[in-house]
Amino acid sequence: MSRERAAATAPASIGNCAAGFDVLGHSFAGPHDRVVVTRTGEPGVKVTAIHCTDAELPVAPERNTASRAVLELLRLAGATELGFAIEIHKGIPLASGMGGSAASAVAAVVAANALLPTPQTTDTLYAAACAGEAAASGAPHGDNVAPSLLGGLVIAPRTGAPVCVPVPDWLHIGLVHPHCQLETRKSREVLQQPFPLAQVTAQLEGLAMVLAGCYQSDGDLLKRGLYDVLAEPRRAPLIPGFHEVQQAALDCEAFGASIGGGGPSVFGWFASRAAAERGVAAMQSAFTQASLQSDAFVGPVAGPKAEIVS
């Protein structure tokens, strides 16, 4: 083990991608979290600093997404005798629907993995980061973890390895983040009641269309499938002006538009960067009508992945 310290960044991501609740997500260029991991002389994991302007985050190892992920990595690697100190630099807004908790977990395990005597496989990093994600959301779902770790559009299974999905290089996301917060746990609470079978079937049809559209580089298939009949109707009331923002994206020829992860961010998929830029301008205007200022991000759906940095 030659290194004493490592740092990694992990990008923002959106979970669900409308049709793929808890199983599909993609990264995008823009905000990212950075985590620095340093070897210590005592076994265990501790959080030494969190640089965040939004709110105070927990530092207890089992409650913080980054430290909990590293604890799980050490367990899976059979290296619980090691000790690590973690410093977290939050670049992704909290409770934004942009995968901030997953990014911290991913960056932490990627950095810690660089310090292990035997680096672990991607599958192990994925499992460890999902355990970290559970500290924030209450469930170990991987639809933000997988794309933040691997980049691009990824299927995030409950068990086993994530699966990357090829996307056409012309496909762009336009995402608008309103200046408000919506905690993942709260946005998941509204989904507790069962869904009718017809809705589940419609959602599965949409997911199939989205995947086929990606593999075939077919915008018409994407347009037929990029919708959410499960989470969106229940979460929309939690986001001021959502329907107007969604319609603004559709009016700018988005293939579809929905809630980014648990919200409150709203995204659309577009046929080009220029179309996405027009879309986010209209979406921001709609949020302004709802008395919310916002930030906008545009980039390829085939977004970046986590990486070690100096």
How do residues 32-81 score in pLDDT, each as one tens digit?
999 999 999 999 999 999 999 777 788 998 999 999 999 999 999 999 99
Burial class (CB in 10 A: 0-12, 13-18, 19+), 89: middle
Indicate the pairing of strand 307-309 with strand 172-178. unpaired
Average pLDDT over residues 252-262: 97
- The rounded mean pLDDT for the chain is 95
- The stretch 293-308 carries a mean pLDDT of 98
Q: Find the mean pLDDT for residues 162-167.
A: 97
Give the per-residue pLDDT at 1. Answer: 44
Q: What is the C-alpha to C-alpha distance for residues 33 and 50, in angstroms, rounded to an integer?
A: 11
- According to the model, what pLDDT value does residue 185 have? 80
Mean pLDDT of 84-107: 96
Is the sign of the CA dihedral 273, 95, 230, 214 positive or negative?
Answer: positive
Give pairs for 253-257: CB < 8 Å, separation 24+: 253/279, 254/174, 254/279, 255/219, 255/222, 255/223, 255/226, 256/18, 256/222, 256/223, 256/225, 256/226, 256/227, 257/18, 257/226, 257/283
Question: Looking at residues 145-171, what average pLDDT do you find?
Answer: 96
pLDDT at 112 over 50: yes
| pLDDT of 2 above 60 | no
Instruction: Between 30 and 242, name the one with better pLDDT.
Output: 242
* Mean pLDDT, range 146-156, rounded to an integer: 98
188 or 310, which is more confident: 188
Q: What percent of the chain has pLDDT over 90?
A: 88
